[in-house]
Structure 1
Amino acid sequence: MSTIETGLPQASGIGKVIDGLFTFAPDWVQMAVLALVVVGFVAVWSVKIKRKIEYRRAVRSGRPIHAAAQYGQGRGADYLGSYAPRDGDRA
């Protein structure tokens, strides 16, 4: 029975390659890779939570917050600060 007959979506080419690599890898390699992925997600999540808490503490204490460091604001070109064009300077 093929996946078309069961109504399940077929995997992409990359998905098939990854599945093939994991099929031949020993169990300890599979578990190590899975653990690294989970640790990576937890690390990213914890850094986001830490920054959010620091931002809220700064707001509550009345400390000035640098505009580029405000929570939820984009990076790079999203913050132009004093370099932003004034209304009459637009080309």
Structure 2
Amino acid sequence: MNTKYLSSVSLILIPIIISIIVKLVLNVQFIYILTGIYIIMLFFMIPSDTFFKSSLNYNIKSVNPSYKDDEPKFNEGTKRQFINFILVLSASLICLGISFLSS
């Protein structure tokens, strides 16, 4: 199996394995642990420059009006990160839906 697909599969399987182990140790419902893990993963997968890029460009332009921002390049790494983000987002939404429906 290709390492790209292996990393995507591991984003789904590792939280499931961790939540099974925690369920056996702490006797807590499986879906709540899994939902928490996916939400934490989703929080850390958000790109760091997403929210501050426009204000940073404004501050740089006010200091140096001839500053020209580089065009963002959508290379293979960012495509894979986007796919992984969508995968974890959909898994967390499914887990949230199941946890709300079960309670």
The TM-score, its normalising length taken from structure 2, stands at: 0.29
Q: Which has the higher helix share?
A: 2
Instruction: With a CA cutoff of 8 Å and minimum separation of 6, indicate the structure with the bigger relative contact order.
Output: 2
The TM-score, its normalising length taken from structure 1, stands at: 0.32
